[in-house]
Structure 1
Amino acid sequence: MVAIKIRMQYLRGQLAIIRSGKGAAIMAPGVKRIALEFPFKNQNGAMGPRKFWQKYMPALKYHNPNVQMDVHRSRDPMTPSTLTIEFDGDRKEVLNVQHKDNTDICTTVLELTKATPVPTSEEDAALIREYEQLKKRDIQKVKNRESRIAAEKEAKRTGAGKSPLMS
């Protein structure tokens, strides 16, 4: 039962970030479609668009279900990373997002679509803080495991027997 409880804590934190994170904004009614295209692999400046897709697009889609959001990941590594925003009246904005940071891309999208941010509730803020603490704890667990493995390897190499960390 502990595993289910921990998984639910993670899930609640992730949902709170979607509900009230940076990408949580309601776009102006004139926005019809957002299309993002970037290479499948992290080549040719595709890290920013990829992280935008992973971190901010779920929140944008959650708060704007009537806006069509498409992501095309091309197998060609030389595909340029572009973000297309289509508005009513056949107006289109095509942005070159190659070598751009994910937060810069999000800020640009929010400005172009005249989006209004969704306020963060106290409950969501508490869930986000709890989620961040869980992530820090997991990072520390990985570091501890790596240092323990390194100490064991060193002990085997020097023939000292059992690692002092394992006592």
Structure 2
Amino acid sequence: MVNLFKRMRKLKSIVNIRIGTGAAILPTPTSATPDYPAITRLHLTYARKIYNGHQGARHFWRNCLPRLKYHNPGVPMSVKQTDDQEGPAALTIYFAERASKPASITAAVAELTDKHAPAPGDAEKTAIVDLRNLDYREIWNKVMNVTGAKEVPASAEEEAEVKRFEQMREQSGRDRVRIAAIRQAKKDQERMLQIARGEVEKLREL
């Protein structure tokens, strides 16, 4: 049974990286459009601690970036964690030749720089998305808007797997409560027996 649960947890982690927030296909040289050029790479910078607006960027790194990398294995993605809570929480997006129109507008409004982001190549243009004080879902919406990423919907089989894992989690919780109640009842019974034995010993001493 233990091995079964270990296997199910492993399967759940595989499913979780395939679907959910961040599961999307970035534009490639073959799928790029005039509005959304190909994405050549990404760089994320944020502070190690969550205060001063870095919480969303950290959650984006934990929840979204693994899925994005899974679906775009050929796109390099680098991360820089800093100790500077006053520093930027930023995602630098590298485009082939030119930035998308939403990216150009975002960059013009933000006027943000990130010294930790690698310099773009001769054939690259960059746009920096300000992530400070944003929830990771808000960050993901901005990333989709800027890059033109297409979300990968969960298949019927994957949705069924997620539902099954949730049912297992709920059943596991009920089992823990039931086992805890059995153990507590056993302890209570042993305690009552000890008290009863003590009373018997007292009567014998009279």
Q: CA deviation at 1:45?
A: 1.2
The within-5 A match list for 1:58-69 is 58-69=66-77
**TM alignment of 1:1-167, pairs within 5 A:** 2-29=1-28, 30-89=38-97, 90-136=124-170
SS at match of 1:130: helix
Instruction: Please tell me whether the aligned partners of residues 38 and 74 of structure 1 are also in contact (alpha carbons under 8 angstroms).
Output: yes
> TM-score w.r.t. structure 2 length?
0.64
User: Would you say the 8 A contact 1:13–1:130 is kept in 2?
Assistant: no
What letter corresponds to residue 125 of structure 1 in structure 2? E
**Do 1:14 and 1:128's aligned partners in 2 also have CA atoms closer than 8 Å?**
no
Greater shift in the superposed pair: 57-66 or 131-140: 131-140
User: Which residue in the other structure is 1:155 paired with?
Assistant: none
Larger RCO (CA under 8 A, 6+ residues apart): 1
**Structure 1 residues 25, 76: CA separation in 2 closer, same or farther (over 3 Å shift)?**
same
Let me know the Cα RMSD of the aligned residues.
Answer: 2.8
- Distance, in Å, in 1 between the alignment partners of 2:45 and 2:69 is 17
Q: Percent of aligned pairs with the same residue?
A: 30
State the 1:66 CA deviation. 1.1
Using the alignment, how far apart are the partners of 1:92 and 1:139 within structure 2?
Answer: 48
Q: Write the distance in 1 (CA, Å) between the matches of 2:23 and 2:95.
A: 20
Structure 1: any 5+ residue segments left out of the alignment?
153-161
In structure 1, C-alpha distance between the alignment counterparts of 2:53 and 2:166, rounded to whole Å: 28
Hey, what does 2:120 align to over in structure 1?
none
Structure 2: segments with no counterpart, 5+ residues:
29-37, 98-123, 193-206
Structure 1 SS opposite 2:11: helix
Contact 1:17 1:124 in 2 (8 A): no
Q: 1:123 deviation in Å?
A: 1.5
Amino acid in the other structure paired with 2:159: A
- Aligned counterparts of 1:108 and 1:100: Cα–Cα separation in 2: 10
Report how many aligned residue pairs link the two structures: 151
Name the larger-Rg structure.
2
Aligned counterparts of 1:130 and 1:87: Cα–Cα separation in 2:
40
SS, match of residue 148 in structure 2: coil
- Cα distance, 1:54 vs structure 2: 0.8
Query: Aligned equivalents of 1:108 and 1:50: distance in 2?
Result: 16
